Amino acid sequence: MTARHIAGGVGRRSVITATAAAGLAQLASPFIIAARGETPLRIGMIDPLTGAYAALARNEVTGARLAVARVNAAGGIQGRRVDLLVEDSANDVGTGVQKAHKLIDRDHVDFLIGDVNSAIALALAQVSGQRGILHIVAGGHTDPITGKDCKWNVWRVCGTTRMDANATSALLARKYGKKWYFITPDYAYGHTLQAGLEANLTQLGGTRIGAALTPLGTTDFSAYLIKARAARPDMLILLLGGQDAVNCLKQIVQFGINRDIAVGGALQELENLEGLPPQARIGTWLFEWYWKQAKVPHVADFVADIRKVNEGRVPTARHWFGFASVMTIALVAAQEKTTDGLKLAHALAGFELPPEVKLQPNKVYYRAGDHQLMLSSFIGRARERGIDDPDDLFAVDDVVAGEKVAQPVAETGCAVLWPT
């Protein structure tokens, strides 16, 4: 199959070549040196390019591609061009594992990135751990990835579900009340996110008065919403992602539930807000990165670069996840002057992202004890319409440092076992 341009659709497998990278070199200033080296380094990326999380996955790939273009324009990694090989997990664990084996055994990738789906990310970590491949989880949030199932070779960019829960629980309880009803996706991400929110709610003196587990890909939420409304909670906590979140929020507004019950939750995504009619852009949420940060260095450049390859639209957190994942590999390899996965994994302990990569306030670094990136939480409210910019659909009220909302390492269950 042929490579496609970033602004276009992504096939089940696409490869960034030196030619494609050169075509994007104008985005990479001040990186101006063409990558050299006869044998390219290969980064394998697995994401659900089809299914409920397709929009999120496509944007992660776009962000990763921008980073690859910048790295190649600067001379590559250790003088070797970087190729990005992308595979579609199709939101299916078995498919994701199959693609991981293909990338590692047949395509001989040097590094692995993926998956948006937390259950797939956990399964990929098993494969990468067995093969000793340095693996960056860009956008799968469930706690065990950097908790009880942590591995020496696996590092994560996005936050944990407990980080998101800790950043939002007290605010939601204080603002809307302490009787919550959950609508939760029935897989690893939803389970750990709800557990974290429930634990915090109990500590705050609140009560879960109901919960519904929904399959990925649900289109009709009416039965769940009827039960939620009948329970008469103070707040409907919506933990869905991707197209599921879009479908559910549309129906909440259609049924008028938001007129009687507050709606919100932990993680929200700009892709979801963009996919909603204005009247359904409601609620208090957390973003793990947001594009409008006027006083933060280098953000405007990143926004401009993504607009060029994203049909004029601004970057989302998913763009940044993919971008930061590739840049992490490139930066630590440049620092250590090696591409050896074990040496790079050791070097990532405490590794801090520079301003041109972190693109946010606060110190952003990989915690040594659990391999979790300490990224900021952007807490605020969905907007029906942007005020100064139509893409500004989220009003940020507070930005909280990652280390303030992360569990102590001792409470994560992570005990990293290193190769002898």
Q: How confident is the model over 91-149, as pLDDT tens digits?
A: 999 999 999 999 999 999 999 999 999 999 999 999 999 999 999 999 999 999 999 99
Query: How far apart (Å, rounded) are the C-alpha atoms in residues 324 and 131?
Result: 23
Give the pLDDT confidence score for residue 14 in this predicted structure. Answer: 40
Give the pLDDT confidence score for residue 218 in this predicted structure. Answer: 97
- 286 Cβ partners below 8 Å, 6+ apart? 164, 167, 168, 266, 267, 268, 377, 378, 379
What strands, in cross-sheet order, belong to the sheet with 394-400? 207-214, 179-185, 235-238, 262-267, 284-287, 377-382, 394-400
Give the pLDDT confidence score for residue 50 in this predicted structure. Answer: 96
Q: Tell me the average pLDDT across 196-223.
A: 98
Least confident of 21-30, 211-220, 340-349: 21-30
Give the CA diameter of the chain.
65
Query: How far apart (Å, rounded) are the C-alpha atoms in residues 308 and 368?
Result: 36
Q: How confident is the model over 349-404, as pLDDT tens digits?
A: 999 999 999 999 999 999 999 999 999 999 999 999 998 899 999 999 999 999 99
Domain 13-159+295-375 in CATH 3.40.50.2300: yes
Residue 282 has pLDDT above 80, yes or no: yes
Q: Counting beta carbons within 10 angstroms of the beta carbon of residue 182, is it exposed (0 to 12), middle (13 to 18) or buried (19 or more)?
A: buried
Give the pLDDT confidence score for residue 35 in this predicted structure. Answer: 57
The rounded Cα 74 to chain-centroid distance in angstroms is: 26
Q: What percent of the chain has pLDDT over 70?
A: 91
Residue 87 has pLDDT above 50, yes or no: yes
Indicate the angle between helix axes 299-309 and 317-336, nearest 10 degrees.
110
Report DSSP letters for 273-284, one per residue. HHTS-GGG---E
pTM for the whole thing? 0.91
Asked if residue 53 lies in contact with residue 138, where contact means CB atoms within 8 angstroms, the answer is no
Q: Which part of the chain has CATH 3.40.50.2300?
A: 13-159+295-375, 162-287+377-405
CATH topology of domain 162-287+377-405: Rossmann fold (3.40.50)
Asked if residue 150 lies in contact with residue 370, where contact means CB atoms within 8 angstroms, the answer is yes
User: In which band, very low, low, confident or very high, does the pLDDT at 214 lie, cut at 50, 70 and 90?
Assistant: very high
Asked if residue 14 lies in contact with residue 4, where contact means CB atoms within 8 angstroms, the answer is yes
Average pLDDT score, the chain: 92
